[in-house]
A and B are shown apart, each in its own frame.
Chain A
């Protein structure tokens, strides 16, 4: 109970991997959306 504030190793890994996954996801999807927008601009100007 006293160490409720400090994270266990598993919780540290969980936090780090969650952040990594969220960042990767945002990058991947914004890249996809950007690709589509460029394509549409090429097609329709």
Chain B
């Protein structure tokens, strides 16, 4: 499948036009809100995973932590995707040729599938019924994925 035309179209779309033309909108509504959402998304990932690893909040039930953090994870994900699409549209053709952009998109896809198809369904029940090593393994994998999404994302701007 040839994706370049889609990226060319994105840059000429309304979103792309706004982001390209108004640097202030791009930097505030795009980048700044993307970073604020990163704080919430990363926070909810770390709160859950560090709890599963037994690093923080050992005296709070991990089910409560995981359930509550997931609510904010979803909200942050909506904002981070929306602002991410907006930013990518403005520089779509550059993104098409950027290796880190594709690395990030792959990691993001893996992350979304991992959260909604595996981690979340597994953590819904009683955590005492899950082997402790499995909880820790999933937590490490989750941190690895979201760290990679954020780090490759930051590197898009450098390359």
Chain A: residues with CB nearer than 8 A to chain B?
A: 4-5, 7, 10-11, 13-15, 17-19, 21-22, 25, 28-29
| Set B118, B129, B144: member contacting A22, Cβ < 8 A | B144
Known: A7-B131, A13-B118. A25 touches B138 (CB 8 A): no
B148 and A25 contacting across the interface, CB-CB below 8 Å = yes
A7 and B134 contacting across the interface, CB-CB below 8 Å = yes
Give 13 A-B contacts (CB < 8 Å), ordered by A residue. A10-B122, A11-B122, A11-B131, A15-B134, A17-B118, A18-B137, A18-B138, A18-B141, A21-B114, A21-B144, A22-B137, A22-B141, A28-B103
Known: A7-B131, A17-B114. A29 touches B141 (CB 8 A): no
A7 to B138, CA, bound (A): 14
A10 and B144 contacting across the interface, CB-CB below 8 Å = no
Give the number of A-B contacts (CB < 8 Å).
45
From DSSP, what is the main secondary structure of chain B's interface residues?
helix
A10 and B118 contacting across the interface, CB-CB below 8 Å = yes
B130 and A11 contacting across the interface, CB-CB below 8 Å = yes
Chain A residues within 8 Å of B137, by CB: 14-15, 18-19, 22
From DSSP, what is the main secondary structure of chain A's interface residues?
helix
| Set A14, A22, A25: member contacting B134, Cβ < 8 A | A14
Chain A residues within 8 Å of B121, by CB: 10
Chain B residues within 8 Å of A22, by CB: 137, 140-141, 144
CB-defined interface of B48-77 with A at 8 Å, one 1/0 digit per residue?
Answer: 000000000000000000000000000000
Query: Other than the known A11-B130, A17-B114, A28-B103, what 6 A-B pairs have Cβ atoms closer than 8 Å?
Result: A4-B129, A10-B118, A11-B122, A14-B138, A21-B110, A28-B148
Closest to B119 in A: A14
B148 and A14 contacting across the interface, CB-CB below 8 Å = no
A25 and B145 contacting across the interface, CB-CB below 8 Å = yes
Closest Cβ–Cβ distance, residue B149 to chain A (whole Å): 11
